[in-house]
A and B are shown apart, each in its own frame.
Chain A
């Protein structure tokens, strides 16, 4: 019969069971949330730095994808979500293709951005895109110069998208309303303009 191994000291057992070495600043749930949203095992990162070495944003800013991976593992939620560098990832997926542990650091960044948005931390340009799609179905809507050019090409002035079939827009709005996305965008932008 195997014997249960222990140190016979409750305090020491508890300390050693904390395999992620969480500190007072860390939120263990943060790592779990990141893993769930990103669908990648972020805790497997061993900090080799291949991601930062592959990153087109790294040479021209203080953005370090490896640092964000570490913040995920350590549960450093505030440090990760409050850092504006979070929004300098172009999502090129070079780090993901080269990660020797087969992780997706890009998707970790996407997950952290999703979590930041839940706390109203979001660059304002993203909110304007939300408003445009809610209203027109397009993130980049048509304009008069382009309409004239389309007609010259023998195309309809408006493409056969929601622009020509606005009856599809309420469906889009219902989907966005399901997640209260437009309300959130409106509220944040309204608070700002006060």
Chain B
């Protein structure tokens, strides 16, 4: 069993707790144990905080990293926004002495020091990594295959981009997430402009909701075009934008899609036999019943 400090972020534990519960239970079946990262905070939100003062963003993200350094354990997380803050700040501070010294000066206020002794991983990359888990192991853990369902993938932005600073290869048309979806017995589907942003990031959801929803709406049109039963992602903020966003789109633009939106860990949970109740799918704004009827 590999152990990781589980960085929760905000939206997963405080809006979609099913993602948190599913991540812990499904990972256990894949040989990955997620331990609580006690005292962690918001990552902090790269759009909201990075936009107004990058120095505070570096320092608060570094505080979360130091908590894991003190546990002597790598961090894993289930949100692209958190990945940008935690992975990127860890990466920047390990490679930029000037910024690290500046951050450590601030962290001293809280009796902490960034050492650069751990790594940060998105849980989805651990699943895909043959050395740690791999697609076949995911497939072998499935007891309730999602057969007969067509699922649209959403990669989100901050895991893969900017590609030159990441390690996921092509960000124009990646296909690795589809392998993980197909491993659950479902059929992944391709749609126009798959890699487009959900619209929520950079503080735009808070600043101009209609603008953000218009971007989301374009994604929904493109997904509807190919007839998917559900949309899946590995970012609770994208999930919030697609899930609650569909209700908001209906109110503002009068268009209804009723497309269930599930985090990959929620899908994996269903495929491993977790019930909708164990995943708190009733907290989703868009009713997941039509999708569940296909698989249960």
Contact = CB atoms under 8 A, between A and B. Distances in A.
A144 to B, nearest CB: 11
A71 B22 CA distance: 47
A28 B8 CA distance: 43
Interface string B35-46: 011111110111
Given A139-B10, A149-B283, A110 B206 contact: no
A159 B14 contact: yes
A162 interface: yes
Contact of B202 (A91, A139, A165, A175): A91
Contacts of A174: 109-110
Contact of B162 (A106, A159, A160, A168): A106
A123 B109 contact: no
Contact of B42 (A91, A93, A139, A181): A139
A161 B47 contact: no
What bracket does the count of chain B residues touching chain A fall in?
Answer: 35 or more
Contacts of A139: 10, 42, 44-45, 48
A29 interface: no
A67 B161 CA distance: 22
A146 B171 CA distance: 35
A37 to B, nearest CB: 6
Contacts of B283: 145-146, 149
A181 B8 CA distance: 24
Contacts of B50: 91, 110
B187 interface: no
A7 interface: no
Interface in A74-104: 87-94, 96-97, 102, 104
B112 interface: yes
A187 B272 CA distance: 51
A90 B54 contact: no
A110 B14 contact: no
Given A91-B47, A146-B17, A138 B41 contact: yes
Interface of B: 8, 10-11, 13-15, 17-18, 20-21, 36-42, 44-56, 59-60, 63, 106-107, 109-112, 157-158, 161-164, 171-172, 195-197, 199-204, 206-208, 211-212, 214-215, 218, 277-280, 283
Interface of A: 37, 56-57, 60-61, 87-94, 96-97, 102, 104, 106, 110-111, 113-114, 117, 122-123, 125-126, 129-130, 133, 137-143, 145-146, 149-150, 152-155, 159-165, 167-168, 170-172, 174-179, 181
